[in-house]
Chains A and B, each alone.
Chain A
Amino acid sequence: MAAINRDDVAHLAQLAHIEMNDEELDRMATELAVIVDSVKSVSEAAGADVPATSHPIPLTNVMREDVVGHVLTVEEALSGAPDAADGRFKVPAILEES
């Protein structure tokens, strides 16, 4: 049986700031349930001795030296902003703090 239901989808949509109507929630709950079931078959194939994959590429320690490189000008930094003031990005006041 699928481990995801309509309430889970509604909760995830809220966390991800995605607006979904009733019909979309119903449809997504069904579709995601299929995907969850499919992923489950992978878990069944991998035994307890297979470590979880955190990254698909077999690389580690890709690092750079601590040397200053490319920097944008303030104008460049702000060029894509919908609104700016005093060299800073201007955003609506958000009362819910992180």
Chain B
Amino acid sequence: MSVDTILSFEEAMEKYDPVLGFEVHVELNTKTKMFSSAPNVFGDEPNSNVNEVCLGLPGVLPVVNKKAVESSILIGLALNCKIAEHCTFARKQYFYPDTPKNFQTSQYEDPICYDGWIDIELEDGTVFRVEIERAHMEEDAGKLTHMGGATGRIQGADFSLVDYNRSGVPLVEIVTKPIEGAGSRAPELAKAYVAAIREIVKNLGVSDAKMERGNVRCDANVSLRPYGQEKFGTRTETKNVNSLRAVENAVKFEIQRHAAVLDSGVLITQETRHWHEDTKSTTSGRPKSDADDYRYFPEPDLVPIVTSAAWVEELRATLPEPPAERRKRLQADWGYSDLEFRDVVNAGLMDQIEETVAAGATAAAARKWWMGEIARRAKLADVDPAELGVTPAVVVEIEKLIAAGSINDKLARKVLDGVLEGEGTPAEVVAKRGLAVVSDDGALQTAIDEALAAQPDVADKIRGGKVQAVGAIVGGVMKVTRGQADAARVRELILKTLGVEG
């Protein structure tokens, strides 16, 4: 495999103006498939979620999943699209074993959603408006595993095994208009765009939106033109770039590769490219013409979809608050800095903190526990903090126990351990493990007297007015009580014993 020459990104940017375009496929999380009542479930035994329709057997009749149509309309509305009053399905013909019918049922001339837009905010606050050309309904293909030859790679494969569980899973393909003017922000914009689509479909509840499972898949189109030229350069389409980081890297690589090709006086070949995560580069796929001849024609087995204004408005009324607006509102409500808030978002803990605050904790306390002890334990357990098993109610109860003086921060961490080990609610863990702070002044006084007797010089210092020296005595008392004393109360009692004003 020849290694492509590339230009540095900076040099490429000095010479050329990039134009981007994205096709993002979103798998819907309906219970059944787009055109059959077979289950739409990820990860099951191969070919166990199929029926005659998914296998494309002769004589079968597809029937449209109403929920999938509604999910598609919701995506369109969230992307500020117009919803077609009348649209049809079409057959896209191609021969490949991932599609047993030899055609994919899709939409062609009249997508259900069209002419939308979405504002993408980059990390520094710059906003780019991305225009949406269309969002149409179609079905996913089966999954091929290439056997023999190089592991899993199609090159040198002897044969392929096909699992049709994914065949017929509802897809919405979101296509942008050409994105101009991104300049050197192009790779960053690419990543932010796909992240925004993923967030929107997750927020709508219409997709599980897990890129690692292929719920959201991106094909990235890149072309370059000299600055000042209106006409677009020849584009390449990098397929199946399936993580946010990969989207950013693939766009950056293609810009650098195109620039080197153009600099050498050669024309870009219009083709698909394959992204390789291991080498962080793309390789040539197959040549592609603008008019790939899929011989689309109206699907004779499916009748048109007609959307009434009442139906669309009914769906519009169910739209949740857009993710970008929700983030702005929550950050303002909680008073977190940009950095603190970004960390919360990246940790996937926005929902948990929102619920914790709603249940009565302060925003500061919610962040302290979720981003601190809980995130730390999650990292050790190698799970997402939200999936560790701590609920917002647990955090709120721990905070209440601290506020009431029943436990201190150090004991609270042990309470958390107990909760995670299934010992019950925080209050139950406190009772079972005997974690309550020593609040009996008599017992504390004995410990204080002993600590003062053990360090007479420190006691003298305090008597002499060096109040800050009290820390050493507090430490001694905490050690004797194995941390189960209220440090503030201990300090009070020490000063009282020595007759010093705190």
Nearest-Cβ distance from residue B144 to partner chain A, whole angstroms: 8
> CB distance B37 to A55 under 8 Å?
no
Report chain B residues within 8 Å CB of A57: 303
A92 with B298: CB separation less than 8 A: no
Is B356 an interface residue when CB atoms closer than 8 A count as contact?
Answer: no
Pick from B31, B162, B305: contact of A66, CB under 8 Å: B31
Which of A25-33, A39-47, A80-88 lies on the face that meets chain B? A80-88
What sequence of 0s and 1s flags, for each residue 147-186 of chain B, a beta carbon within 8 Å of any chain A beta carbon?
A: 1110000110111111110000000000000000000000
The segment from B87-95, B451-459, B480-488 that touches chain A is B87-95
Contacts A69-B37, A88-B47; A94 near B96 (Cβ below 8 A): yes
Q: Beyond A15-B93, A66-B31, A77-B164, is A97–B300 a contact (Cβ under 8 Å)?
A: no
Task: State A62–B61 Cα separation when bound (angstroms).
Answer: 12
Across the interface, name the chain B residue whose C-beta is closest to A60: B306
Checking B32, B97, B286, B293 against A91 with a beta-carbon cut-off of 8 angstroms, the contacting residue is: B97
> Is there an interface contact between B157 and A93, defined as CB atoms closer than 8 Å?
yes
Residue pair A54, B298 in contact (C-beta under 8 Å): yes
CA gap between A46 and B90 in the complex, in Å: 23
Rounded to whole Å, the gap between the CB of B498 and the closest CB of chain A is 74
Q: Is the beta-carbon distance between A66 and B65 smaller than 8 angstroms?
A: yes
Once the chains are docked, how many angstroms separate the CA of A77 from the CA of B98? 15
Is A50 part of the binding interface, using a Cβ–Cβ cutoff of 8 Å? no
Contact status A55-B304, CB under 8 Å: yes
A48 within 8 A of B: no
Name, among B31, B47, B50, B51, the residue most crowded by chain A CB atoms within 10 Å (CB to CB): B47
CB of B283 closer than 8 Å to a CB of A: no
B365 close to chain A: CB less than 8 A: no
- Please give, as numbers and ranges, the residues of chain A lying within 8 Å of B31 by CB-CB distance: 66-68
Instruction: Decide: B95 and A97 in contact? CB cutoff 8 A.
Output: no
14 examples of A-B residue contacts, CB within 8 angstroms: A55-B302, A55-B304, A63-B66, A63-B305, A68-B31, A68-B38, A68-B39, A74-B45, A86-B161, A87-B47, A88-B46, A89-B47, A90-B161, A93-B157
Counting from the closest, the 9 A-B pairs by CB-CB distance are A69-B37, A66-B67, A88-B161, A63-B66, A93-B157, A98-B96, A89-B162, A60-B306, A54-B298
